[in-house]
Structure 1
Amino acid sequence: MKRILISIIFFSLQLYSQNRDTSVIFSEIMFYNSSSIPNGEFVELFNTSYSDTINLSGWKIKYYTSSPDLIVDAGSGTKLLPRQFAVIFEGDYSGGYTVSPNALILKISDNAFGTSGMANTTDRDVHLLNSSSDTIWSYTYSANNSAGYSDEKIILIGDNSISNWANSIVVNGTPGGYNSISQREFDIGIIKILTSPAFPVLNDTVEVGVWIKNFGIRDASNFFVAFKYDFGNDGNIDLIVNSSPINYLRSADSIFIRADSLIAGLEKETKVFAELNFPSDENKTNDTISLLIKPGLPPGTIVINEVMFDPRSGEPEWVELYNKSNSRINLKGWKISDVVTTPTQVTITNNDFYFEPETFVVLASNLLIRNFYDSIPSPILLVPIPTLNNDRDGVVIYDDRGLAIDSLFYFSDWGRSKHSIERINYNQPTNQKNNWIFSVADSGATPGYQNSVQNIQAAKPMSIVFNELMFEPLTGNSEYIEIFNPSNDTINLAGWKIIEGGGKSFTLSTKSFYLYPDNYFVIASDSSIFNLFPYLREAAFSNFIKIFNASDLSLSNSDDIVILKDIFGNTIDSVAFQSNWHNPEIDDKKGRSLERINPTLNSNDGRNWTTSVNQLGGTPLIQNSVFTKKLPSYSKIEISPNPFSPDNDGFEDFTIISYQLPQETSQIRIRIFDSVGRLVRTLVDNEPSGSSGSVIFNGLDDNKQALRIGIYIILLEAINQNKGVVEQIKKPVVVAKRLR
């Protein structure tokens, strides 16, 4: 019985010893050492136990088919402590590796693993034997490493399969320390420190927090973060605040931890340090992080004001900035970037440069920009601006913290070749298309100056109108189109276009040109217009006429359309004219223009157009020969002039019937009766109308014959069917003739 009990105890001790032995594993093998470290092959072991110390005396390394090599003391003993690495070198190793001071250094009893060292071109197996010569672990390495790169185990407590081993990612391996590719059992780290707001400005309240990730194999518990504040960034810690303890974080999970203390009213640079406190952490390299918090500027303080992306030959591309604030701003460390296709950031300046308030600065790659402009009063900073595409691209301005202070994305149709694009209003959004337009300056741009289109506004419909059309001139004479400003505003015609029915467009001016109230502007197909209308040669008219090629301006002799667009492409006026708008009383219309009777009435009402009665056939840049003034409607119906004389002499040939109605909308009919009550003309028949309107009467009957001299009655009838209201208004009109 006693003998049996002793046997059981001996067997149990053997089993316990073997279980303890298996806690020692292979963790790294250097079989192809660098030539700079002779005799540098090594085998690294790791004790995975948290409690047991293993004595490696009598243990062996067996390489391939060679006899085992005995592991011997190298001066620090043979006991491997819990969670300790051991590095086993060749017997004649004399140094060269950087080995962790916490590692146990051992050697083998001879000068080479196996017979003559480990092979570095053929896969071989390596075995770990305990003092009883039992094989504890085996590993077959893959000989695909470059010199100086070991095989490392990825998960130390994992198996020895090929998938759990890989080549070291650092030269000479990691003898005595955690492998370069290994995942620790306990490893939580700070991956990012953040503030809210991300880019604070002066006097902001700022919250600080960190993202923590569990990189380890095992779950982590009972840790916290210490936040340390250095107000003023003078090297002194002014405040330490510990976060609340975190009880649990699963492997591979992340958590965001906020500091319990806020920075109230940020006034100066503040450096914040975050330190992770986790006693079981096996990797301290990712436990600390810091962030310098600088009170910066809000976006839009400095704005992109002008961009030359399609310059003339020899001129560099350039960007103009404007400081909207009332403070000097240091541009040191600021950056500029393009957008398409691969954004490239470049530094504006590495030196102190103070951008004065409400001024400009030009960023250009070289000083050749000065050759293209009479003067550039603002500073020019030489910056290797990334190449800007002509079809579409962007410009982004970053402050020294990396915050985008302003950004612009433009397209080619925003501008025109060899002209910059200019910002219209500092306070409108940068990427709003109608806040940009091509420069109308004589030089094509305004670097260092207020933009030529500063605060330009879209024109109102009918603020400029078509006033005269010469679409069928006599042979050898010029077609022309006249526009007129009937408004009370002075209007800049820069960038305005007239588009005719065939799709051709004609730019009125490529630079600022102001058309004052009651002034005219003419475009003509050729200079023969000066022969037909000699007065146009006078200096007073020279700036108000523009000559194009005859082949370009080609209006149809029957029906056509002309459209007037402002610099933003808005349609300001359009006329779809017809040849039958001419006065039927005039037999030969060729060589006579179509003139507008009143510029404030409907552009597309044929009754508002008729044949010029000027002896020259037209009235370019002077008042139309058929112009008739519209008087305000002070009563329900007004007729002006009254009497009128429709004899085609250019004086009071038409009368305007203006009316006011008591309803918002009505269907109206206007008829003309002679003195005995016979209907002679229906001017308007069941047409919709607002509460007021005007109609032109040319003195002709329904057969387009001139009415006799006499008194006629105008009858206006209006009905609002929704309200059942019928309105009838009568008023006499006198048809007369001028005395000769």
Structure 2
Amino acid sequence: FNPDQQLTLSIDTLWDISGNQATELEINFTWNPPFEADSSDILFNEILPDPTPLVGLPEAEYIELFNRSDSVINLQGYTFINSAVAVVLADLLFEPDSYLILCDEDDTSFFQPYGLVLGLSVWPALVNSGDSLTLINPSGEIIDLLVYDDSWYRDAEKEEGGWSLERINPVWPCEIDNNWSASENSLGGTPGQVNSIFNDAIDSIGPEITALSIISDQSVQISLSETPENLFITVQQITIPELDLIGVEFGESLTDELILHFSEPLAEDQEYLIWLENVQDCWGNTSNDTLSFNSGFFAKPDQVLINELMVDPSPQQLLPEAEFIELYNITDHSFNIRNWQIDNSGIRKDIPDFELAPYGYAILCREQDTSLFFGFGKTIGMPSWSGLVNTQDSLALINEKGEIISRVAYKNTWYKNDVKKDGGWSLERIDPNKKCHGIVNWMASENSSGGTPGKENSVKGIEIENEILLWQAYLPDTNILVTSFSGEPDTLTILNSEYQTILELGLTLQKITIEDNRFDLHFYTDTNPIENTIYQFKIKGIKTCDQTETAEQSIDFGISIQADKKEIIINEILFDPFSGASDFVEVMNTSAHFINLKNWRIIKSDGFETIEESLFSEEHLIIAPGELLVFSRAPEELPVLYPISTNINNLKSLSGLPNFNNDRGTIIIRNNQLKTIDSLVYSDDMHFSLLDDLDGVSLERIIPSGDTKDPLNWTSAAESVGFATPGSPNSQLFKTAATGRVYLEPELFTPDNDGYHDQLHINYHLASGGWMGNIKIYSDKGIEIRRLINNDWLGSEGSKAWDGTNNEGEKVPVGIYIVYFEVFNAQGEKQLFKQPCVLGAKL
């Protein structure tokens, strides 16, 4: 037969079962081959990949087909493919504009009440999260292809199961994923009938701009109401009058998002108008849309800060036992930190899209810890997290352009608290408005919870102590000068500072190294330094990190020489400190040249072998001619314990300083070649014999050039200086005066608190150390009215003051008074001084 040919069927002889003969039969007909579906004649119209938990439908998977053609289709020979499993369909007439439910053969009876059902003897299970479904006609042509994804539900609750995915419009010409959604039928689906979300409305509106977000100062992202037909959008189709658009690209995963790139940065807080023209959708509609937007503000360095760190949450205090990083916006502008990153020692992790409010906080933590911090403030769960090292680590906040917005290189010394550094307490920035990023601006939280995530730091307002002090200059190599400073500087002012050397060497700054509360400047010298020559380095113009001006500073330096014996001497030792305090040892450079104490050792010995030892320094440590250096495990205690006599500039921390015996012992100093330079055998018998309490009293060397091992060259520090002189000249240092003397100034004083001659100063200069004294004030009648000191331990020189009051604190009358000054020592020697003075008054 030929298609559409008119034919006639004739029957001449035909009997029924009763023997009746039929008359002549004839029928006209037209022959056509069986209808074979073409592309999209049959559609996958609804699927239930996850029937559990049951909502209202049978708890079984199904696929609904829709015949949208105007022909009956016999499905015999059609093939259904689920991923790699293919099933040939059975003989079944599929009426036009009707639905067919495919399911497992065992589930057929469950779905028969809903409509026409075709059970498959082999049912390839549907994957809940997403799968690929294909229908092929007998000629091998694809009728429909569906690659679904569970994101199509657009409803997190329904995505968990029991609800079908339904096609919205069976004649939709556009991207398939926008044409599916979760069923809205109360049973969970509509097998065998019109879908609950069916909508065959025709789109007559072109693509429109629905949203805009600023990615960086040179790129923005716009969201469109629908996907363009042509995925190649030119710069001619998008216009921003004030900007030069140089590129357009689609977002990484969404074809309705466009990223626009500009040749120059957006101006801050500027209104812009964007035009979208001649962009066509899949229905053939073209765009003609505009959107105005404000560029807002872009964070500059130090406007968003790493403000608090929980690097060691165990043992837990009251906060969640989880690491966190707190960010703080110090400005009155909001910042979107989309595409920003946290850099942890070179490992960068992306920060999710987040709008950081003016003066707002954000808590960064592991994604799984997010719920732990919800009660503390805005929280950003990081899908990928690089753990924070407890002892020290380096963190940086990086913006979308790769610029560093905030940087912190913390150490556990920043806690400034030995208990809190062991865990459970956060590190907090003290003053976010000061550009100080080192130890001077950080300390352990003082909040009883252990930290303050999401709110103002507990340590805010504590005064920052940051003074730039030039404390060392040395020549580690020919033509290299290194100058060391304490404090945290503003590095820009270093580059603009003025520096020079007396005895000109010609300096070129090569590099700056900064670590904790110290920084070094490395210079190249044009001229070779000369041995045994003292140079002086001067610098001015440096500011601290909080922009405090620093006065001009200078320091002597020269080529370091290998020390000979007795060129570094033990000058003072505290071996029996106050309870809870630390020992100290003071050394002195008696030579005329600079000496480097790097890798020198201080040793505690029993006279035969080493018991404890420690390096003075693993780094360069220069001691100048005549300079004193004091080493202690806790040098910060000394100015508190000895406020009168401590020179803080000469104090050095030495955590490994040996613990010296309180009664007797041996101290040895060896150079970097292990040669003994000085040694002291000490005992408490070397103290002044009339002292009852030796706690906190140091032993001082009397004559620097004398023998260290001579007990007579040592004695107790004077009471007048507080019993120790760490970093300062010894109170018992031998002076060249041959005889002692006492002198008063002024001889006429007027104690009326007017700031002029309010006190009588009794100055003494004794021939040697080791004296005790009494000072009494007598009236001209010989009556004792005031005792200033009574058997006090004196230095070789000093001063006492009388304010014109008696022993009861009452002011004495105007008149002549006698100062009686008696001194004596352990050898029984005694001296007596008597001098008159006048206590006057203004008329």
TM over 0.5: no
Bigger relative CO (Cα 8 Å, ≥ 6 apart) = 1
| TM bracket, shorter-chain basis | 0.3 to 0.5
- Report which of the two has the higher share of strand: 2
> What TM-score, normalized by structure 2, do the two folds share?
0.35
